[in-house]
Amino acid sequence: MTGFDLNTTTAPPGETPRGTVAGFATYLKPDATSGFLVFLIALPLCLGISLASGFPPVAGVFTAVVGAIVTSFISNSELTIKGPAAGMIVIVLGAMQSFGFTAGADPEADLRAYRMAIAVGCVAGMMQVAFGLLRAGALSEFFPTAVVHGMLAAIGFIICLKQLPVVFGQKAKGEPLEILQELPEKILHLNPAITAIGLVSLAILFGWPAIRGRLRPAWLRFVPAQLLVLAVAVPLGRWFDLAREHYYTFAGHEYPVGESFLVNVPGNLLAAVTTPDFSVFTRPETQISGLWWVLMFALVGSVESLLSAKAIDLLDPWKRKTDMNRDLLAVGVANVAAASIGGLPMISEIVRSKSNIDNGARTRFADFWHGVFLLAAVALAPSLIHMIPLSALAAMLVYTGFRLASPQEFINVFKIGSEQLLIFVATIIGVLTTDLLIGVGIGIALKFVIHAVNGVPVGSFFKPFLKVSQIDDQTVQIDASGSAVFSNWIPFRRQIEQLGLVQHHNVIVNLAGTELVDSSVMEKLHALALDFQQAGLSLDVVGLEAHRQLSGHPLATRKRVTVPMRRITVVGPAASEPRLIAMARDHGASGYTAVPCHGGGRRDSNGERRPLVRFETIVHADVAGRILDALRESAFAEDRMTAWIEPVDVLRLEQF
């Protein structure tokens, strides 16, 4: 997932907006305005994502419309936009291909695959409803951050590979690595007119963000790049006469153009409604694969949706919190409804949601209005949508895929730690060479191996060892031992939330007893601290002084290291105590103990006892060496001191 600056939004003064019946009228203008602007972005993306998934173009609009209307009245997520997402393209297309999709070669087979796929989407939606009712919203907390980012980056690569041939007027078939191998040949046989539209669209998409901030008048800065692409690509399509089947000659070669290079939408929206074919779960040849794709739709869609909703909550100017279980229930209900009429799977989509915030939306009804505008556009102006070149939509998807797998994503992961980059890359390779679920499994398995090598006790992989103590009436402390890693975070988080957010205590999390604290937990603790802050409470993390960061990043994995400590004991004249204290501090000792005592040695005459002091300090080995050297100097040589040094184990290394 692309990261956002958490400080970019500030809530205006006044009452916190809520998506209630009263709020619908109160915030009608800002919500409808934002909904219209998001609609301008969503329309081409809905069409493009649907085509890339093997569905009819209008299926993506069905999804966005149903999602906008249904979830606005069930979920309490105020600023998320629901609809089809690029992250689900790979899964949906995989399901279509397993059910016999031919990409237009056999329309009957394609319709059959389509009806089976929406049956899968319908059952997966029911599973998401069950997730919501069983309060499985915490599912998003399990997956390691590097694995999630690797999965999204792999999806980005696949989207780019599958859509680049379309930009050049070609078709992409086969697995991602096969498409990559064939891409040079497809570029050599490109269709110049279609390629011109695609490359101009790409230039706008990549160039517009760099120049929009410097434009005058200021209103131009709010024009979405996708809308600008349509404003240029549609006239280009008219200029190349794409609506008429014919051939043209360029550089001595003939190339075909025609309606097959334009978006195909039905003139009658009701005629496009398609019902699911549930026989996919009873036919022996499709039964197993059908259940497999239900699992993929439900799990991946739920995780993506929950992660997006969490990210948007962090950007909400009013810091409103989404009930993740309720949101998952809403998405499940909407997915059942959308699939029942032929729609794609939906999630909370992060890019459109971020645009919704930037456009000044106040409540969840901005999502509702974006769906209303989509429905009006497809129902009332299908001929205008038919004028959109497919290569322009493909360019938008290439741009979306590039953002998911941009070089900056690799840099961001590497900054957190080289081991995180290894997991990130392994997940990408796993997804590209196998499939999405296996690739994610490879990333998680590698994370477990790295944790085991770093000394995480096997018994604490899935169970956090926590001890709770009451500090005062307002504060409790949780002492963790074993490890604090992604796989035991859910019960750890539940304990913190119960003591803090539910029982209204400030919480101190002491991690001194852990062998390892991984980067996923560091990130989630940081996010949880923001929740505490918004509730007027504090969440403090302590005890990491004895842990070494695996990188300089504040969210890097922490590993407890063994530091050799030494106890130096000196017995000497009581009068030497101030000099011993000053010398020890000058050489780096952080503390000491001085106890008056008395004694005698063989040098004392008549067995008289003399007043002495017993001085002790515990220091690192290098500091101990400097202190011993100082004791040999002339300042202490005449004091008839006895000194010795011994290795020690300490319980709280941070105190030294």
Residues 37-85: tens digit of each pLDDT: 899 889 999 999 999 999 999 999 999 999 999 999 999 999 999 999 8
Confidence of residue 654 (pLDDT cuts 50, 70, 90): low
Report pTM: 0.77
Confidence of residue 309 (pLDDT cuts 50, 70, 90): confident
For 396-420, b/e burial (b = at least 16 CB within 10 A) is bbbbbbbbbbeeebbebbbbbbebb
pLDDT score for 3: 37
Distance in angstroms (rounded) separating the CA atoms of residues 359 and 317: 12
CA distances (Å), 481 to each of 51, 476, 477, 656, in order?
51, 17, 13, 20
> Taking a C-beta distance cutoff of 8 angstroms, is the pair 432, 152 a contact?
no
In the chain, count H helices and then E strands.
23, 14
Distance in angstroms (rounded) separating the CA atoms of residues 438 and 427: 9
> Taking a C-beta distance cutoff of 8 angstroms, is the pair 507, 471 a contact?
no
The residues spanned by each domain of the chain are 21-413, 414-453, 458-560, 565-655
- State the average pLDDT over residues 570-583: 90
Distance in angstroms (rounded) separating the CA atoms of residues 538 and 529: 7
pLDDT score for 12: 58
Q: Indicate the average pLDDT of the chain.
A: 89
pLDDT score for 617: 92
In the predicted structure, residue 144 carries a pLDDT above the cut 60: yes
Confidence of residue 2 (pLDDT cuts 50, 70, 90): very low
Q: What is the 3-state secondary structure (H, E, C) of 268-297?
A: CCHHHCCCCCHHHHCCHHHHHHHHHHHHHH
% of the chain beyond a pLDDT of 70: 95
pLDDT score for 500: 94
Q: Is the sign of the CA dihedral 107, 109, 110, 111 positive or negative?
A: positive
Confidence of residue 231 (pLDDT cuts 50, 70, 90): very high
DSSP letters, 581-618, are HHHHHHTT----EEEEEEE--TTSGGG--EEEEEEEEE
pLDDT score for 655: 61
Report phi then psi at 190, rounded to 5. Answer: -65, 160
- State the average pLDDT over residues 247-273: 90
Say which CATH topology domain 565-655 has: Alpha-Beta Plaits (3.30.70)
Distance in angstroms (rounded) separating the CA atoms of residues 143 and 154: 16
In the predicted structure, residue 441 carries a pLDDT above the cut 70: yes
- 456-473: pLDDT as tens digits: 888 889 999 999 999 989
pLDDT score for 13: 55
Long-range contacts of 1-4 (CB under 8 A, 24+ apart): 1/148, 1/149, 1/152, 1/307, 1/308, 1/311, 1/350, 2/350, 2/351, 2/403, 2/404, 2/409, 3/412, 4/311, 4/314, 4/315, 4/354
Say which CATH topology domain 458-560 has: Transcription Regulator spoIIAA (3.30.750)
| Nearest by Cα to 496 from 512, 479, 482, 513 | 479
- State the average pLDDT over residues 508-533: 91
- State the average pLDDT over residues 4-30: 73
Give the tokens for residue 588: 């780096």
pLDDT score for 207: 92
